[in-house]
Amino acid sequence: MFNKILIANRGEIAVRIIKTCRRLGIATVVVYSEADADSMAVEMADESVFIGGAPASESYLVADKIVAACRETGAEAVHPGFGFLSENAGFARRLEAEGIVFIGPNPHAIEAMGDKIESKKFAARANVSVVPGHVGEIDDTTHAIKIAEEIGYPVMIKASAGGGGKGIRVAWDRRDVEEGFPAVRAEARSSFGDDRIFIEKFIESPRHIEIQVLGDKHGEVVHLFERECSIQRRNQKVIEEAPSPLLDAETRAAMGAQAVALAKAVNYDSAGTVEFVAGQDKSFYFLEMNTRLQVEHPVTELITGVDLVEQMIRSAYGEKLAFGQKDLAIKGWAIESRIYAEDPYRGFLPSIGRLVRYAPPEEGPTASGAIVRNDAGVREGDEISMFYDPMISKLSTWAPDRLQAIDAMGQALETFHIEGLGQNIPFLVAVMDQPRFRSGVLSTNYIKDEFPDGFQGTVATEFQADVFTVVACAMHQVMARRATSGPVRDDWIVVAGARHLPVQVSQAGADLVITAGERVLTLSSVAWRPGQPTFSGALNGTHFTCQVSPAAEGFVIRHRAAVQRVLVLSERSAELHLKLPPKKAADTSKLILSPMPGLVVSLDVTPGQSVRSGEQVAIIEAMKMQNILRAERDGVVKLVGAKAGDSVAADEVLIEFA
């Protein structure tokens, strides 16, 4: 076996690879950029090598620096993780020429299947059903419009070297192509160093189902069943599961056989994923092949018991697969939620900043018989940089069946606490609670269908309203006792929005009893003290965990996706509170604000210029995503507050109208 492996990646996947290497007794080297000098991966690896500036084009995408790091450390092989150089056939060939093993498929397989344009041609020659589209390269925007109109709208504009939801847009009309084609090309160039684009028909209300394949250098290929990745936003996967609630045994076998046949046709010899777009009628079409490890590989590992990173290493070393197709079986169900640094309440825009608090749920078996796994490359105090993907961690749960796995995920998300930046945990737990998701009736339009006006949290259920009441009373009582040496009153008015609830608070041993009219709420098993950001307990025997923080008066309490500001007041204070005038929102109608922290790619107007409603005025980029800003009204520009190349904060004024 290899003695030393260099990991040409960063973040959670670098940490994930280190863990398997440690178990196998293999020394590790990580390369790192300026932004990752203090990262968890650097701390965990046996050796680390600095390779350049924060932009990937100056570090993780520079093959010469990776090779030099191998020479410096004596690493015999390179694991590329996903993204960056993981699907770059030229990089794989370069390593081969240098006598360094590439832990991934052979360069021919990468070229045949990793390139989105070539894979379509190859699949068509192999009589694999593919989505209708243009499989040649596209010269410019005019050419793209011509092709899109020949195929018929809607179409999907995709980077040939794309992956991870980057470099992809859906165009519903000519204007979308005019804007989307150059944007996708720019994203492709900055993320992958390859600006080739292709266009294909966009199939409405499809499901995204992919087959995990695994091959060795002796001609053997198996599949490890499917993953359903239909819950997507901006074409980036958000929630994945294995197996798929759509497939029956017959369809699963047919998709698996097609994926294996395709892999064998290119002598595939590592972990890879054959992606399909599937109809609700279980029809399916080959979409593309990712010739690398997938972000969502943990769910496959949880239902099969196979360590895919280990198998990639063993295959690269030349070992035969130690199992055949008949040895593999699906056990239980697994769900993965991607925890992103983004603000779900602001259109899921990237949120850059420091992890002031980072407290994931405990990993391992739970009392209910489920398993919790959290793949992360960060610690409390780490910074989420604008230069890379916004993922904080990947939270996975396993249970004997789908609903149990969903319930375990909901509970794990409920206890996951992050402060310092926006994160999508409230949104993820809202999906877990939705009847449609729980039913398994999914499509890639799911988020658009279920949250057409964006995400604003959920309305508190009766149980959650009671949780807010008892938690606020418990915290208020502790704070009141600390503030006085005398007796603390036991009659209060709990104010939560328009709800004014008179309560009596009493102690029954270790339990707190809150009486509201004829209703009695008993709070037990409390785990909280002042300053703690989470409050755990049991309400009438049902366990819960809330995220809590002090407000100007009262507390802000979040349980799952419901958030409420709650005050505990005397009767007189509650009366006065009702007389307070509502706070008016600031008038921002004449301003265009930066929707997120990021880099100004372009600012397309000048003072004195007349602008029409809908006209593009600026482009902001963060975490490899470009955001086009438009004027919401006709007007004349009074002030321009930034210029191309500037770094801006969320809500910073970019343009003011007269």
Q: What residues are labeled active site?
A: 288
User: Which residues share a beta bridge with 357?
Assistant: 419
- Please tell me the number of Cα atoms within 13 Å of 278 on its side-chain side: 28
User: Which residues share a beta bridge with 504?
Assistant: 491, 515
Max Cα–Cα distance, the chain, nearest Å: 85
The two three-digit tokens of residue 470, written as one number:
């008892």
CA angle 604–605–606, rounded 5-degree value: 135
CA 79 → CA 39, 103, 114, distances in Å?
A: 18, 5, 17
Is residue 52 packed enough to be buried (19+ CB in 10 Å), middle (13-18) or exposed (0-12)? middle
What is the C-alpha separation between 429 and 411, in angstroms, rounded?
A: 9
570 by DSSP, 3-state: which?
A: coil
DSSP 484: -
Nearest to residue 639, comparing CAs of 588, 600, 590, 594? 590
- The answer to whether 5 and 47 are in contact (CB under 8 A) is no
φ and ψ at residue 160, rounded to 5 degrees? -60, -40
The two three-digit tokens of residue 593, written as one number:
């604000």
The two three-digit tokens of residue 351, written as one number:
């949120």
What is the C-alpha separation between 548 and 471, in angstroms, rounded?
A: 9
From the centroid of its chain, how far is CA 296?
A: 10
Using DSSP bridges, classify how beta strands 610-611 and 353-354 pair: parallel, antiparallel or unpaired. Answer: unpaired
What is the C-alpha separation between 425 and 431, in angstroms, rounded?
A: 10
From the centroid of its chain, how far is CA 106?
A: 29
111 by DSSP, 3-state: which?
A: helix
Sign of CA dihedral 509, 512, 515, 518: negative
Nearest to residue 103, comparing CAs of 71, 73, 81? 81
For the chain, the C-alpha Rg in angstroms (whole number) is 27
What is the C-alpha separation between 58 and 300, in angstroms, rounded?
A: 34
Cis peptide before 582 (omega within 30 of 0): no
What is the C-alpha separation between 134 and 535, in angstroms, rounded?
A: 55
Nearest to residue 169, comparing CAs of 155, 190, 152? 155
Residue found under tokens 């944007």: 183
- The answer to whether 123 and 286 are in contact (CB under 8 A) is yes
Is residue 329 packed enough to be buried (19+ CB in 10 Å), middle (13-18) or exposed (0-12)? exposed
Is residue 288 packed enough to be buried (19+ CB in 10 Å), middle (13-18) or exposed (0-12)? buried
DSSP 35: G
Residue found under tokens 């798929």: 244
